[in-house]
Structure 1
Amino acid sequence: MSDGGLTQRRWRYRWVVLGVATFTQAASGFFVQGIGAMGIHLQRDLSLSTTQLGLLLSAAQLVPLAGLLVAGELLDRYSERWVVGIGASVIAVSLGVGSLAPGYISVLIVLLIVGAGYSPVQPGGSKSVASWFDSSQRGLAMGIRQAGLPLGGVLAAAALPSLAVSLGWRATLMAGALVALLGAVVFMCFYRSPPTRSAPRDDGPHDTGPQASLRSPLGARLRLLREPSMMRIILSGMSLVSVHSGVGVLTVLHLHEVASVGAGQAALVLVATQGAGVAGRICLAAWSDRSRSGRYAWVVSCMVAVTMGMTALTTPLGRSPAAACLLFIWLGFFGIGWYGPWVAYLAESAPPGRTGFALGSAMAVNQVAVVSAPPALGLLKDLTGGFTPAWGLLSAMTAVALMVTARVGCHHRPDASRHRTTTL
């Protein structure tokens, strides 16, 4: 076989890399994504308030505030194969130990460790996919890979509540441990770094090796966060990830308490909502590959859509079982699906050699909202006795971010030249 044929064969391996990265993402987030679906059972078995339930989600996201920055630096120096694999293994071990936890406080501590393990999985999987795919297919590939998180949520929402009923909540942690361990093993066994080529693969960002990152002073790398494209990424990301958190922790409770939907049926609606998020991440990112308006225009569209959906939940539509279910599916498609075009835009905004740092930094800033939103929304619900203030707050936050970012966001596009149809 000629060298050219061998190289082409190696590049076809990118679809294996995409599948492996997606599976590991789903496996790593499996348990945490199922906490919302188990909300009614956890509140009953552990005597939790809505605020305490939200703190469970926040505990898993607290360490990544700093961990994502560290992970970004590691990913610019070492192979994703080991950084991601070790992170997923930490998740598995901590959840396994957590299955022996005596109560609520112990589970909180376990989830803090889970967050440390998850820190390299998110940016590492994104970087591995971005390095294998050129700009003509990167949006679709990143959308499929980012669909791993809601896909894990779909499976968790379908399986964990039943497991909690039949075997108890501790069994759900052990199930999460086994799934995460499988994700770690699959990634370490099948991931490979992309082959080198004599000609550039595309016009997008490239990591030029560890030394490129090392030669860049920390101050210069931090200045990257003040770039206009990064500011748009940060503002839109914080508002939309808050919506995602709100949908995850409040959907089942809202349907059960406001729309009088049974606990089992409400969990199934969350399954459908997460499924809509899977479809959204793939479809919205794929459409952004072909959009002449740029990837960020699709992020703006998602902000408009979720503002409309959450506002509708505060009206009588939110009390109608059928209408509320449809609204949550709408919010799933746009309020979870936004991440596909968003992370593709982020990867293409990064300078050469700083992809890992850019991904880790922006995701770390998002973690502020991921950590604060669930307990804040839960506390708001506990204090007011209703869900309208929570949905109204999320709607207002998204509308403000939309007004700040929309006008400039659609004109400054680092991905403007990505419409070239280079094919590997």
Structure 2
Amino acid sequence: MLGPVSPQRVGVATALAVIMTVPSLTQFALGSLAPFLTDEFHLTPTAFGAVTASYYLAAAGLSPLMGRWVDHLGTRRALLVTVGIGWVGSLTLAGAPALVGVLASVFVAGAATAMANPATNVAISTLPRPHAALVGVKQSGVQTAALLGGAILPALAVAYGWRTSVLACSVAFAVGVVAAATMPVPARTHVTRTRRKGMRTRPGVRRLALFAGLMGCGMAATNVYLVLYAHDRVHMDVRLAGSLLATVGLVAIIARITLTLVAERARAPERTGMRMLRTMAVVAVGAAALIASAPQLGAGVLWVGAVATGLSVAAFNGVTMFVLIRTSHQTATATDSGLVQGSFFAGMLVSPPVFGLLVDLTGSYTYGWTWAAVCLVAAAIVIPGATALMTPHPEPG
């Protein structure tokens, strides 16, 4: 049995973290390698926003479909397909000869990201509680990609070129294939194969999806533009600017694991989780304001803003998925995850082109960071309405 302290459970958590890391590498490669990509393909901030939009278009548009597909594929095959699609996207990005190739490759990579959360959430939902540590560890995989992308990829790009830097991600994808192929997966029962016909999505899930979309708008600003902004406007060396993204990732890894554990140990885990989400949105507003003030206050505030971002908008998805797994019936976990994650990526899709257009039209990043802050304020307003709507489902017996 995959009990709370069994070696198999530890193996599952580690494997899921790896599987969440590898599809996300391309996402953070775009941000950390932005100066190289904009130079080679002569991209304005708006055009670069369109490149990242291709990634998030796939992630947003395909997430609901992938959630249903996971139910048909089964857990192990879904995990293997996730890693495989992501690897194809990464390899084609490394070899893209022109901008159209970049757009196509990041779209493929986005499809893998669309599948990652539904597939890994279903794997967790089949295990007995507690789930917090599993959710926190597996969600930390996304920010592990940010840490690796920010700390390693810019340095490799300076030394060997950005294409070699992206190609180096294949090592991680190979590990992901092994993790998906060897992870101990519980036998899937009949009830997990299909969602009951006529089952409607709960209002609380829809409200949580709206919140996730607004947080995605705010998070995209950091993922896509932080390194480019620090390099262009605060005149940081590109490797040091990449370390900002790595800092966001490192802090978020710790926060995702810690906060889910704190929420689960509370008297009312679901309500505590929802209160945490509102607090994260408020902290994220402050982080955006700090980052925007860097040209006036100095590079030091960028590091403070990076830490605050890691504690808030970069970490919220761990708590979100914890609440979702606790409150969704096992037959609805993949579909609900796909809906919430699709909305999150819809925000990530919309935000970069808007951010880039504001910068191009005004010549100032201040308006872009203001856009991000407005979205985060809206998220903080939306989340209280979801609290009463999220009610836990009984433990399957």
TM-score by length of 1: 0.85
- Shift, 1:352, TM fit: 4.0
Relative to structure 1, the CA distance from residue 182 to residue 359 in structure 2 (aligned partners, 3 Å threshold; closer, same or farther) is same
Is residue 373 from structure 1 mapped to residue 356 from structure 2 by the alignment? Answer: no
Deviations 1:107-150 (A, max 9, x none): 1111112222332222211221232241xx32232111111011
1:110 aligned residue: 105
The structural deviation recorded for 1:163 is 1.9
Residue pairs, 1:51-70, within 5 angstroms: 51-70=46-65
Contact 2:2 2:128 (8 Å CA) reproduced: no
Alignment of 1:223-242 (within 5 A): 223-224=200-201, 227-242=202-217
Mapped contact 1:150–1:274 kept (Cα < 8 A): yes
| Structure 1 partner of 2:329 | 351
Instruction: Specify the code of the residue in structure 2 equivalent to 1:337.
Output: A
The offset of 1:236, in angstroms, is 1.5
Give the Å deviation of 1:89: 0.9
Distance 1:17 1:171, change over 3 A: same
Cα 1:191/1:29, change in 2 over 3 Å: farther
Using the TM superposition, give the Cα deviation of residue 335 of structure 1 relative to its aligned residue in structure 2, in angstroms: 1.4
- Secondary structure of 2:331 counterpart: coil
User: In the alignment, which residue of structure 1 is the partner of 2:251?
Assistant: 276
Instruction: Determine the C-alpha separation between the residues in 1 that align with 2:88 and 2:75.
Output: 20
Q: 1:363 aligns with which of 341, 344, 349?
A: 341
**Deviation, structure 1 residue 70:** 2.0
Alignment of 1:131-150 (within 5 A): 131-134=126-129, 137-150=130-143
Alignment deviations for residues 352-409 of structure 1 (CA, whole Å, 9 cap, x no partner): 4111111112211222112121222122112211121111112112212322332x33
Q: CA deviation at 1:308?
A: 2.2
TM superposition shift of 1:267: 1.3
AA aligned to 2:278 is V
- Post-superposition Cα deviations, 1:227-277, rounded to whole Å, max 9, x if no partner, equal 331133112101112222111112122323333333222111221121111
User: What amino acid is the match of 1:102?
Assistant: P
How big is the alpha-carbon RMSD for the aligned residues of Structure 1 and Structure 2? 2.6
Q: Is 2:15–2:180's contact at 8 Å kept on the other side of the alignment?
A: yes
> Take 1:209 and 1:350, find their aligned partners in 2: how far apart are those partners?
12
Q: Which residue of 1 aligns with 2:186?
A: 193
- Cα 1:267–1:413 shift into 2, 3 Å: same
Write the letter of the residue equivalent to 2:247: A
Shift of 1:294: 2.4
Q: How does 1:74-85 map to 2 (within 5 A)?
A: 74-85=69-80
Partner of 2:96: 101
Q: Which residue of 1 aligns with 2:192?
A: 209
Q: Does the CA contact (< 8 Å) of 1:28 and 1:118 recur in 2? A: yes
Cα distance change of structure 1 residues 176 and 117 upon mapping to structure 2, 3 Å threshold: same
Q: Which residue of 2 aligns with 1:201?
A: none
Structure 2's unaligned 5+ residue stretches are none
The 8 Å contact of residues 215 and 344 in structure 2, kept in 1 or not, is answered as no
**Number of the residue aligned with 1:388:** 366
Q: CA deviation at 1:11?
A: 5.6
Tell me if 1:404 matches 2:382. Answer: yes
Contact 2:90 2:169 in 1 (8 A): yes
Give 1:254's aligned residue. Answer: 229
User: What is the percentage of aligned positions where both structures have the same residue?
Assistant: 18
Does the CA-based 8 Å contact 1:294-1:413 persist in structure 2? Answer: no
Selected match of 2:146 from 124, 132, 153: 153
Distance 1:300 1:80, change over 3 A: same
Structure 1, gaps ≥5 residues long? 1-5, 197-206
The residue number in structure 2 matching 1:182 is 175
* Match in the other structure for 1:203: none
1:416 Cα deviation after fit? 9.3
Aligned partners of 1:63 and 1:112 also within 8 Å: yes
Change (3 A) 1:409 1:265: same
Distance 1:168 1:354, change over 3 A: same
For residues 93 and 299 of structure 2, the distance between their equivalents in structure 1, rounded to whole angstroms, comes to 36
